[in-house]
Amino acid sequence: MRACVLHGVRSLEVRDVPRPDPKPHDVLVRVSAVGLCGTDFHIYSGEANYNTDERGRTLPLSQHPQILGHEITGQVVAAGSEVTDVHEGERVVLDQGLNCISTRRGSLCEYCATGDSHQCEFYREHGITGLPGGLAEFIAIPAVNTVRIEADIEPAVAVLSEPLACVSHAMSSVARVTSARYKLDGPAPEQRVRTALILGSGPAGLLFVQYLRRVLAFDGLLLVSEPNARKRKLAARFGADVIDPASEDLTEVVRERTRGRGAEFVIESSGSGRVFTTLPGVLRKQGTVLLYSHGHGGVDMSLLNQLQFKEPVLVSPVGGSGGFDSDGRPLAYRHSLRLLERGVIDTAPFVSHHYQALADVERAFGEEFLQPDYVKGVVHLA
């Protein structure tokens, strides 16, 4: 089969690689579409490498090439001999992470047992930690990692189940923090989040805007800081009040809009280290900061000194954890897919780039990913 192989920093090549054979409890999926994520770009550009040995040492791409792509949807073409609840021809989205349920361990580790499957003691991840990802014609994965698509939605919509599952898990993680002074559903006005501020309105930020408004019914002031005009327009379309930090002083605007209170809840979804310098000026004392994005290079960590004086609650969830349904399927992925199927979350407006071949991935990362008109890219394979 053909696959897009990252064999060095910024070095991609479409190669012939062996087609995987599904094990007895696996299915073989013909990949229909793959979403391109910031994590993929960070690995491609050399900013990150999550493929490590048992001692946590990074395995270089030159010796351990990777097939990226962890936002995956496709069609089942074969099922292992022990699979009874997934059938050939079914359209599915994938949870790319292998955990205790996926690997059929006799007992669950403490993280899987409490719904935190992306922190599984034995966790591995297709497209991120070295296991082959979705930028290939086929992928083999445990049947319990598939969630059946039940509505007539396009692959470019279904593929957003993974990032939406991450957003859903992130918001659930915030809700679980009992020590937070301010909550989205606080029982009394003085305990309730009046203002939420999202830093960055890329795909994650835009999903957070919709999740707050349409799923959690947050009716307070929702501010989004974003220097890109196209992304600001999308955030406004989904129900946010937008701020251009390139032409306005973010701290002054937030303090003016909140009458000096600041935001009780801040979501960092930009991946820019520089935004941490703004947090002390926009966050209310003992407010909550959701650290969602990764990257954050090139900054002096002393910038956290002023933030720490405010005694914030810092929440840093990863992945689409959320426990397992009675059939072993990942609840967060099933929840996110159903939201997309019902049209509660709208992704079509921000899928800005569609690619029709694996060979286009190099152009996407090498030329277009950081351009002003780029919001989200999807690679179509079938």
For the domain that residue 117 is a member of, what is the CATH number? 3.90.180.10
Count the domains in the chain: 2
Is 345 domain-assigned?
no
- Quote the mean pLDDT of the chain: 96
Burial (0-12, 13-18, 19+ Cβ within 10 Å), 306: middle
Say yes or no: 11 and 154 in one domain: yes
Q: Please give the pLDDT value at position 296.
A: 77
Residues 219 and 185 in one domain: yes
Distances (CA, A) of 83 to 14, 19, 75: 31, 19, 15
Chain CA centroid to CA 95, Å: 12
Q: What confidence category does residue 359 fall into, taking pLDDT thresholds of 50, 70 and 90?
A: very high
**Residue 323 belongs to some domain of the structure:** no
pLDDT band of 295, cuts 50, 70, 90:
confident
pLDDT in tens, 77-117: 999 999 999 999 999 999 999 999 999 999 999 999 999 99
pLDDT at 377 over 90: yes
CA dihedral 66, 71, 76, 81 (to 10 degrees): 60
Which of 261, 293, 315 terminates a domain? The answer is: 315
pTM here?
0.96
Q: Are residues 176 and 216 in the same domain?
A: yes
- Residues 108 and 193 placed together within one structural domain of the fold: no
Q: Are residues 241 and 291 in the same domain?
A: yes
CA 54/CA 57 separation, integer angstroms: 7
Residue ranges making up the domain that contains 65? 2-160+351-380
**Do 357 and 263 have their domain in common?**
no
204: domain CATH number is 3.40.50.720
Give the span between the Cα atoms of 288 and 363, in whole angstroms.
38
Residues 105 and 221 in one domain: no
Query: Which among 264, 295, 315 is the end of a domain?
Result: 315
Write down which residue in 268, 289, 315 finishes a domain. Answer: 315
pLDDT tier at 247, thresholds 50, 70, 90: very high
Residues 180 and 114 placed together within one structural domain of the fold: no
Whether 22 and 146 map to the same domain: the answer is yes
- Is the pLDDT confidence value at 37 over 90? yes
Give a yes or no: residue 331 inside a domain: no
Confidence of residue 303 (pLDDT cuts 50, 70, 90): confident
Report DSSP letters for 26-52, one per residue. EEEEEEEEEEE-HHHHHHHTTS----B
Q: Verify that 176 and 44 share a domain, yes or no.
A: no
The answer to whether residue 56 is domain-embedded is: yes
pLDDT category at 298 given cuts 50, 70, 90 is confident
356 burial level (CB within 10 Å; 0-12, 13-18, 19+) = exposed
pLDDT confidence bin for 199, thresholds 50/70/90: very high
Q: What are the residues facing 142 on neighbouring strands?
A: 26
